[in-house]
Structure 1
Amino acid sequence: MGTGHSHVHGSTAPVRASRASRLIIVLIALALLAGTLVGLIRLWPHSSDVPRSALLAPGAELLDATVTDVPDTTDPSTSSTVTVVGRSAAIHDESIQVEVTPDVMASLHEGDRIRVLSIQDAAAAIGDDEEGDNVSASPQEPAAPIYTYFDHQRTIPLALLFLAYLVVVAVVARGNGLRAVVGLAVGVAIVVWFLLPAILAGEDPVLVALVAAGAMIFPSVYIAHGVSIRTTTALIGTFGGVAVTVLIALVSSRPAGMTGSDEETAQMLFGADPGISLAAVFLTGVIISGLGAFNDVTITQASSVWELRAAMPDGSRWEVFASAMRIGRDHIASTVYTLAYAYIGSALPVLLLASTIDRSLLDTLASGEIAAEVFRTLVASIGLVLAIPLTTAVAALLASTPSRRREARVGIEERLARY
């Protein structure tokens, strides 16, 4: 029997839940959906409530350019400029020098498309008389702009990569894969149009995260896997895992010192909006980060239970549960280290920097950004582990075959006939 992340949807026998069980599971799902919709209506932000700030200061402009010459040196820190040719109208086909920091210089190559920040040289516009004497009324020549590196242009490469992703998904996973992409798109839209604006508008980040999680779970599960008792069971298991994650995060975040202010980006966010709670924003990230893994394990477990019930129609619910949990335990092991390795890969620069400091491993793990990610991984993993037996138990109670129901009715009729 395979144990992994595969989601099996075929069936060797028709499997249905009892009418009462189906009614209960549908009512629970409808209650969760109703709560999500009420939360969306109640917390949906108005555009006027979301603070906005300009990307650039007055007089600054972003221009497109292509790198034509990078200094040939083994020490990028000895050079501070590269030559580019302008692509935007203001500098079209113009060869200019762009200031670049050493860390960016080390990764620049000829042909790279970059974005250049053009700033007027304020120092050139200052008069020569520093004592406040009368300045000549003769017209001043426009100050020469200063060009500095702002960012790489990534739109076209990312678009091509996304198209390649869609092609691979369509060829390998076909309709199921494309439906999953649609569900993902809906989830991303919830983040962009609801989660982020609602937090910036001053709503409680944790409450917003719970509503957003519900709004993301429903389309992700039902669009990708269809509407059925099986997928509804997985959805309820996912909600259970999210609930456990929220409770553990709320209880343990303050004792663990999770202030949410360790990252530089969080500090910049607080500078832009001093009224925001960075600790609550951190908890929001903990909740959202576990959704994908929760959906993965709950869908797999629900499918496993239904397939096991079809393969062993005479087995008891406990036997089906125990068999499915053997699959679940392998899934737990693989998913837990998947989360840990994903963090190690994304936080490699932080880990490299921390490894240069002479201190113990425990002190390193308990410091700053590393401690925040360790906390996030542990809390999400606990919720993930507990979501598996919850989903398995619910599925084992719901999954039954027509033959078993007929045998049960015959047994009842025989017992009644004896009286």
Structure 2
Amino acid sequence: MAHGHGEVRLETGEARRVRTVLAAFVLPLLLATIVGLVVLWPRGETPVGSMQLTVEGVTIETGVVERAATPSGQTVVVELTSGADEGDQVPVQLPPALAAEADVGDRVKVASPGPEGGEYSFWDFDRRSPVLWLALAYLLSVAVVARGRGLAAVVGLVGSLAVTVYFVLPAIMVGQSPFLVALVGSSAMMFLAVYLAHGISIRTTTALLGTFAGLAITIALAAWGTRAAELTGSGDGIPIIQESFPGVRLSDLVLAGIVIAGLGALNDVTITQASAVWELHAADPRASRRRLFGRGMRIGRDHIASTVYTLAFAYVGTALPLLIVASLWDRAPLDTVMSGDIAEEVVRTLVSSIGLVLAIPITTGIAAFLVRRQPRRH
């Protein structure tokens, strides 16, 4: 019975600590997030879906490549699988760069002739099937390896993406500050992702607090970095944004992108550090907070060493074509790195990495302070 009463007291103490931390830190953050969502939520008509992809009378149909282009040609034969001419085989001319990529059996999207007639034209490859299979493989892998917790994390991911689609993008489009929208949206995403994936506990609350601390550092550095480096964004969509939303500062969009881009990796390191401290405590329940922090930071330093190159490698991989084009120009390597397109990603990587690195000792310190410690026996 004594053992059972001891368990009740420990559980009560744990619950009391959770309530204290929630009341002192997490609830104010949650309330501020809810208020921000209410105030910034886009109301009425939004520009989402307001631009037509094609002229009136032109539709996008699907088809299968029945005959590939010859080595010296750019025209393939496509059998239509939708639309008024379904079942017909029509010639479709591909862009020069894609002529060699279309093989027999590939699914493509084509634009139908307009009201004045003409031929079908290439629109894009139809990628729905392979992406769907990859998504199913991903869900199966998560379900088998991580089981219920992994599937809960997927639900959190879907919820976070919903915040982006239904709040972040429309709110920026209707003229709300991209900085404030990114701040509130990131906070909402973190509440959904952390608590849905890991449950409500003192451990996950510790990780959440560490995430918010890293997020605050990232926001401060991103705000300074985008202004100081005169970052105004890059990409094919910038002219459309400037024309459609003249009141939106491009540097604010860059800032919002930097903040949101680092959320996943930031949450990863804080969850890992909180879990590490709890496992260290389980192995030595009477270890002092100072010793727990020191042991946790030994793990954290390894984590820091890996994050130093994680984000950098991610950028190099995604921007490889851009880097190849940039390296063709006859200029010094430093000038190449400081060019607009590349400098934006350099600043993004540096800012996110600093936030990650500093979040590790902060989270470790919070965890060492909040973890239940048993007194030493004399």
TM class, shorter-length? over 0.9
Other-structure match for 2:125: 152
Structure 1 vs Structure 2 CA RMSD: 1.9
Among 293, 314, 320, the residue aligned to 1:321: 293
Matches within 5 A, 1:49-128: 49-50=46-47, 52-73=50-71, 78-120=72-114
CA–CA distance in 2 between the matches of 1:89 and 1:280?
42
Q: What 5-or-longer segments of structure 1 have no aligned partner?
A: 1-13, 121-141, 412-419
| 1:186 and 1:219 in contact (8 A); partners too | yes
| 1:36 and 1:211 in contact (8 A); partners too | yes
Matches within 5 A, 1:10-409: 21-27=17-23, 28-50=25-47, 52-73=50-71, 78-120=72-114, 143-260=116-233, 262-401=234-373, 403-404=374-375
| 1:118 and 1:148 in contact (8 A); partners too | yes
1:325 deviation in Å? Answer: 0.5
CA–CA distance in 2 between the matches of 1:332 and 1:119?
56
CA–CA distance in 2 between the matches of 1:386 and 1:321?
14
| 2:80 and 2:89 in contact (8 A); partners too | yes
Q: Quickly say closer, same or farther: Cα 1:17–1:98, change in 2 above 3 A.
A: farther
Report the TM-score, using the length of structure 2 for normalisation: 0.92
Structure 1 stretches of 4+ with a deviation exceeding 4 A read 14-21
Q: Quickly say closer, same or farther: Cα 1:195–1:163, change in 2 above 3 A.
A: same
| 1:17 and 1:229 in contact (8 A); partners too | no
Letter in 2 for 1:300: T
| 2:226 and 2:254 in contact (8 A); partners too | no
1:400 deviation in Å? Answer: 2.2
Moved more, 89-98 or 345-354: 89-98
Q: Quickly say closer, same or farther: Cα 1:355–1:18, change in 2 above 3 A.
A: same
CA–CA distance in 2 between the matches of 1:85 and 1:18?
65
| 2:17 and 2:202 in contact (8 A); partners too | no
CA–CA distance in 2 between the matches of 1:147 and 1:249?
46
| 1:66 and 1:112 in contact (8 A); partners too | yes
CA–CA distance in 2 between the matches of 1:172 and 1:19?
30
Letter in 2 for 1:26: L
Other-structure match for 2:4: none
1:19 deviation in Å? Answer: 7.4
Letter in 1 for 2:56: P
1:174 deviation in Å? Answer: 1.0
CA–CA distance in 2 between the matches of 1:303 and 1:234?
9
Q: Quickly say closer, same or farther: Cα 1:17–1:337, change in 2 above 3 A.
A: farther
CA–CA distance in 2 between the matches of 1:343 and 1:29?
33
3-state SS of 1:340 partner: helix
| 2:69 and 2:100 in contact (8 A); partners too | no
Letter in 2 for 1:167: L
Q: Quickly say closer, same or farther: Cα 1:255–1:66, change in 2 above 3 A.
A: same
Identity percentage of aligned residues: 48
1:81 deviation in Å? Answer: 1.8
CA–CA distance in 2 between the matches of 1:88 and 1:20?
62
Name the larger-Rg structure.
1
1:116-136 CA-partner distances (Å, limit 9, x unpaired): 01243xxxxxxxxxxxxxxxx
1:99 deviation in Å? Answer: 1.9
Report the TM-score, using the length of structure 1 for normalisation: 0.83
CA–CA distance in 2 between the matches of 1:61 and 1:34?
46
3-state SS of 1:254 partner: helix
1:71 deviation in Å? Answer: 2.0
Letter in 1 for 2:22: V
1:17 deviation in Å? Answer: 6.6
Other-structure match for 1:133: none
1:21 deviation in Å? Answer: 4.9
